[in-house]
Amino acid sequence: MTSFKPKETAYDHIRAVEWENGRLKLIDQRILPGKFEHLYLDHLPESAKAITDMVVRGAPAIGVTAAYAVVLAARDRYKESPGGWQKTIQADLNLLAEARPTAVNLRWAVEYMRGIINSGISGDPVPRLLAEAQRIHVEDIAANRHMGELGAALIEPGSGVLTHCNTGALATGGYGTALGVVRSGYAAKRIKEVYADETRPWLQGARLTAWELVQEGIPVTLLADSAATYLMKQGKVKWVIVGADRIAANGDTANKIGTYMTAVAARYHKVKFMVVAPTSTVDLSTPDGNGIPIETRAESEVLNYGGTRTSPEGAKAWNPAFDITPAELIDAIVTEKGVVTNPTRDKMLAMMQK
């Protein structure tokens, strides 16, 4: 199959990752909403760079992209050495796995595809690996739709909700994790209004979440991250709904910087806090949040805005891309395997064993 775009449904018309004419096709999320453009990639190194440079971002979307990137690498290596491609591709896989350190889905996808490669494939590996990448893609969307239904069922009809960062179709294979709950909740009339944090310094909420919801006809109100606490005090939101880049065995969750302070504020104001992520994001080998590596990005992302210096020369910046929300601040973790309320290590393990 030379092209592949999973089926669209109501409130679900955006695909950040596609396989088209034997190439990896990505929406360039760095330039939204001002421009809507695709990048077409033919090789693994440029695919890894696209992940690092945030052409594609969001843990599930990175995982899907990585699976397709392995297909590109296998095609190249098999052409070079039909008898030795399984050996030469290993360096490519290692390069891809290091493209971003925090999102566990990236390494999960790479290691899954590595396992298939190492198990032995006779002849041209592309058909087998492409079928696996497409399966991962389809299953991610199906999981998102199921999580959307599970999460929406927790929300009282007519509620307002708050999101942080982008957790929609742009961050996944399609439909979204936290925004999948929003899509399902809005369709079921459980969600009346969506509030989206800007999510500095990359403004994923302003540029991407707001854009997605506008495209789908779902009402959205944008606010500065620092306004979220006051919004909660006004009684405007009943739930905060976020995604995750990694969930530790005890339920501690790594997500976009600013999630932790939002969780603290939510607990104080008796606003419920929901994390929505596939089980591929759960890392049982990491006991708690202290073991999750936190990516630190360039100071320029904070010192500049839109390419213009907005801070004085000589000032420094601290720019962690993620923070850790302790499990005790989370009311529900929603995965495709079910809902874990008030998460603990035992509850997470029981969910993962289903």
pLDDT at 103: 72
Token readout for 320 is 């962690």
As a whole number of angstroms, the distance between CA 301 and CA 41 comes to 26
Quick check: do 17-142 and 145-352 share a fold? no
In this structure, are strands 308-309 and 304-305 parallel, antiparallel, or unpaired? antiparallel
Q: Is 340 helix (H, G, I), strand (E, B) or coil?
A: strand
Tokens at residue 187, please?
Answer: 């369709």
Query: Could you say which of 3.40.309.10, 3.30.70.20, 1.20.120.420, 3.40.30.10 is the CATH number of the domain covering 17-142?
Result: 1.20.120.420
Helices (H), 269-327: 300-303
321: nearest Cα among 139, 58, 96: 58
C-alpha span between 113 and 132 (Å, rounded): 8
pLDDT at 3 (0 to 100) = 63
Catalytic status, residue 225 = no
* Burial grade of 178 (CB within 10 A; 0-12, 13-18, 19 or more): buried
Going by C-beta distance under 8 Å and a sequence separation of 6 or more, which residues neighbour residue 325?
Answer: 252, 253, 254, 255, 259, 260, 263, 273, 275, 289
Strand bridging mode 38-41 / 23-27:
antiparallel
Q: What is the pLDDT of residue 122?
A: 87
Angle, to 10 degrees, between the axis of helix 59-80 and the axis of helix 126-152? 180
Rounded CA separation 113/110 (Å): 5
Q: How far is the C-alpha of 187 from the C-alpha of 138, rounded, in Å?
A: 22
Q: Which pTM was predicted? A: 0.89
Locate the domains of the chain by residue range: 17-142, 145-352
Per-residue pLDDT of the chain (354 residues; tens, 9 = 90+): 566 666 666 678 899 999 999 999 999 999 999 999 999 999 999 999 999 999 999 889 999 999 999 999 999 999 999 999 999 999 999 999 999 987 788 999 999 999 999 998 889 999 999 999 999 999 999 999 999 999 999 999 999 999 999 999 999 999 999 999 999 999 999 999 999 999 999 999 999 999 999 999 999 999 999 999 999 999 999 999 999 999 999 999 999 999 999 999 999 999 999 999 999 899 999 999 999 999 999 999 999 988 899 999 999 999 999 999 999 999 999 999 999 999 999 999 999 998
The H or E element that residue 183 is part of is helix 178-187
Whether the CB-CB separation of 276 and 181 falls below 8 Å is answered with: yes
DSSP string, 188-219: TT-EEEEEEE--TTTTHIIIIIHHHHHHHT--
Fold of 145-352: Rossmann fold (3.40.50)
Omega into 219 within 30° of 0, i.e. cis?
no
Query: Angle at Cα 252 formed by Cα 249 and Cα 253, nearest 5°?
Result: 110
> Which is it for the CA torsion 277, 282, 286, 287, positive or negative?
positive
Given the residues 140, 245, 252, 323, the one annotated as active site: 245
Pairing mode, strands 220-223 and 253-256: unpaired
